[in-house]
Amino acid sequence: MKYVVVSGGVLSGLGKGVTASSIGVLLKSAGLRVTSIKIDPYLNSDAGTMSPFEHGEVFVLDDGGEVDLDLGNYERFLDINLGKDNNLTTGKIYSKVIEAERRGDYLGKTVQVIPHVTDAVQEWIEDVAHQPADGSDEIPDACIIELGGTVGDIESSPYIEALRQFQFRVGRENVTFVHVSLVPVMGPVGEQKTKPTQHTVKELRGLGITPDILVCRSTAPLNDETREKLAAFCHVPPQAVMSTHDVPNIYHVPLMLQEQGLCDILGVDCHSTSLLSDWKIMAHHLDTLSEEVHIAMVGKYTNLSDAYLSVIKSLQHAAMAVDRKLIIDWIEASHLETDWGDKNEHDTAWAQLKQADGVLVPGGFGDRGVEGKILAANYARTSNTPYLGICLGLQVATIEFCRNVLGLEGANSTEFDENAKTAAVVFMPEISKTHLGGTMRLGARPTLWQVDDCAIKRLYGEGESVDERHRHRYEVNPDLIERIEAAGLVFVGKDETGQRCEIFELEGHPYYIGVQYHPEFKSRPGRPSPPFLGLLKASTGQL
Ligand code: GLN
C-alpha cells in the first residue's frame, strides 16, 4: 500500500481537496486502485449536524455517512464509492478511544493523546485504506490521505504527530508527503512571493514531517526563479515544486500536474491507461462550450455555492452531455415571496426566474424561503418550464399541487406548520424526534418503478429499480397519494413497501420531476445523473 499524505498551509480554501483528488487521478491513470481518507480535525462526529452555510454541503454516502464535501470530490474524480469511515473526525476517534477506555482495554494505563489517540489514528488509516472502494473486492494499491485545516492549527496537531509516526510504521518509501501552499502575487510587476510557503514548510518540518512535493496555488504559473527559491528554502528538489495556477476548469488540474512531471516524482507511468486522455478531452470540451443554457437555482444559501456543490457539479456534468455552457442563475427563494420588502430584489428574482430555461429547487431544511420555493414550483408547472425538485424541491411542488390543483387551502409540510390544515408532507414515523445527529432516512435505498413507461424511467434506462442516496425526515403524506395522482401528479417511483413516494412526474408537462432522494451524490463527469440530464435535455429542447 502506497500512501500520499496531503496537508495544507498558509490559509484554507486553496483547493487541497481538488489537488489531492487530482493526484488520485494520476495514480489511477497509472493503473493503480486508489482510495482516499479525509481527516477533519473538528469534534463533531460527522458533518451531518453542521450548517452548509459555514461548512459547505453535507455529502451523503451509500452507507448513509454524512460527510465532508471533499469525499464528493474523491468519488467524482476517482469514480469510487466511499464509506463513512473514509471520513475520520476527532469526534469519531475520541469516541473510539473513550469507549475502549471504558471497556478496560487500557487497564492500568493513563490514556493520553500520545500514544493512544495517535495510535488509534494510525490503525484507523491502515484499516480503512485496505477496504475495497471501486466496486470490486480488490484491496486498493494506494490511499490518498487529506488532512483538513491548516498546519499549525491546535486541532490538527495530534494528526500531524500520527502521520509523522506513520511513515515509520509503514516504511518511509511507502509514504509521499505533499504540502499545498499559497504563492501570492504582489506589486505592479506581479512579484511571486515565497515567504508564506517558506514559513509553513518550516512549521511542518518543525513537527517532524518533511514534504516531498510542494504544490503552490497561484494566479499565474510559477516562474523559474520562484521555483528555485522555494526549492532552496523548503528542502525539496526544484522539479518537486508544482504550480497549480488558475485554469478555466478543474479538469485541467490533473493534466497540469502531469505536465509538470508529478508522475515521474511519484514513480508511476500515468499513461498506462487511457484515463488521462479522457480527462484531456473533457477539460477541453468544457472550455469550448459557448451556447448557453440558463438554470434557475431557487435556494437558500445562494451566495455560497459550496452549500450546493454536488448539485452544481451534476448540472455541469449534464450540461456537458448536451453541449451547452451552463449558466446558473442563483435566486434567493425568499425574494420571490409576495411580501418581500425590497421591490428591486423581488422584481429581479422574478425576472431571472422567467428568463431561465429550466428551474431547479434543491434540498433544504427550515422554513425560510419555503413560500418562495412553492411559488417557483407553481411558475414552472403553469408555464411548462422544465422543473427538477430534489428532496425539499419534491415536497414544495407537492404542497403547491395540493393547494392550487386540489384546492386544499393551507396545505403545508408539518416541518413548517405543525398545525397545517392539510398535512401534505409529514414526519416519517421511524425517525427520532429527540436526536438530530445521524437519525434521518439516510443513504442508498431502492426505488421501484410503479409504471411501465415514463420520461424519468426512460432516462434511467434498464433496470427494475433505482438506487439513490437519501437524507430526509419528511415524506409526502401517504393518505393523499390517491387524490394527488388522480389529478395528474403521478408517483412513478416508490420505495420497497410501495408506501413511500420517491419520484413524481406530472402528466402533460414537458418535464416536471420531483425526487425524494438526492441524485446529485452519484453523478459523475461523463456519466451524468439521469434526472439532471433530463432537466438539461428538456431545457435545451433535446428531450
Ligand atoms: N427538510 C426536508 C426533510 O427533512 C427535506 C430534506 C432535504 O431536502 N434534504 O424531509
Give, for 207, the enclosing helix (H) or strand (E).
Answer: none
Active site residue 520: yes
Whole-number Å distance between alpha carbons of 48 and 438: 7
* Torsion angle in degrees (nearest 10) through CA of 85, 86, 91, 93: 70
Between helices 275-288 and 16-29, what is the axis angle to 10°? 130
Q: Pick the catalytic residue: 116, 470, 509, 518?
A: 518
Give the nearest ligand 1 atom to 390 CA. 8
Q: What is residue 302's predicted lDDT score, i.e. its pLDDT?
A: 63
Angstrom distance (rounded) from CA 398 to CA 425: 8
Report the alpha-carbon angle 480-481-483, nearest 5.
Answer: 70
Enter the C-alpha cell of residue 18: 481538488
Indicate which atom in ligand 1 lies nearest the CA of residue 474: 10
Q: Has 518 been annotated as catalytic?
A: yes
Q: Which of 360, 394, 395 to mutate to test the pocket of ligand 1 (most atoms within 8 A of CB)?
A: 395
DSSP string, 418-481: TT-SEEEEEE-TTS-SS--TT-SEEEEEEEEE-SS--HHHHHH-S-SEEEEEEEESEEE-GGGH
**Residue with grid cell 511571486, as numbered in its chain:** 192
Q: How far is CA 314 from CA 120, 195, 524, 526, in A?
A: 36, 38, 7, 10
Query: 44: part of which helix (H) or strand (E)?
Result: none
* Per-residue pLDDT, 189: 87
User: Can 435 be counted among the known catalytic residues?
Assistant: no
Cα 242 to ligand 1 centroid, rounded to whole Å: 42
Looking at residue 70, what is its pLDDT? Answer: 92
C-alpha to C-alpha distance for 243 and 12, rounded to whole angstroms: 17
H or E stretch covering 501:
strand 501-506
- Distance from the CA of 440 to the center of ligand 1, in angstroms? 9
DSSP for 370-415? HHHHHHHHHHHHHTT--EEEETHHHHHHHHHHHHHTS--TTEEETT
Cell numbers that stand for 248 in this block:
478555466
Q: Is the CB of 502 under 6 A from ligand 1?
A: no
CA dihedral 366, 368, 371, 374 (to 10 degrees): -60
Residue 229 corresponds to which cell in the numbers above?
A: 527559491
Ligand 1 centroid distance, CA of 83 (Å): 22
User: What's the pLDDT score for residue 463?
Assistant: 84
Give the sheet arrangement for strand 474-476, strand by strand.
Answer: 411-413, 422-427, 474-476
What CA–CA distances, in Å, run from 336 to 104, 211, 410, 412? 59, 51, 19, 18
What the block records as the C-alpha cell of 320 is: 456537458
User: How many Å separate Cα 301 from the centre of its chain?
Assistant: 15
Q: How far is the CA of 515 from the centre of ligand 1 (A)?
A: 11
Closest approach atom of ligand 1 to CA 518:
9
Cα–Cα distance for residue pair 451/464, rounded to 1 Å: 11
Q: Is 24 in the pocket of ligand 1 (CB under 6 A)?
A: no
> What are residue 65's phi and psi, to 5 degrees?
-60, 135
Residue of the CA atom closest to atom 7 of ligand 1? 363
CA–CA separation, 97 vs 140, rounded Å?
Answer: 27
Pocket mutation for ligand 1, best pick of 370, 473, 501 (most atoms within 8 Å of C-beta): 473
Position in ligand 1 atom list of the atom nearest CA 428: 10
Q: Which amino acid is at 464?
A: E
- pTM for the predicted model, two decimal places: 0.94
Averaged pLDDT in 10-residue chunks for the chain of 543 residues: 96 91 96 96 88 86 94 95 96 96 94 96 97 94 96 94 97 97 93 96 96 96 95 95 95 96 95 91 95 96 80 96 96 96 96 98 93 98 98 97 96 94 90 77 94 95 92 94 96 93 96 98 95 98 95
pLDDT, tens digit, for every residue of 239-257? 999 999 999 999 999 999 9
Among 10, 47, 37, residue whose Cα is nearest residue 150: 10
Q: How far is CA 320 from the centre of its chain?
A: 19
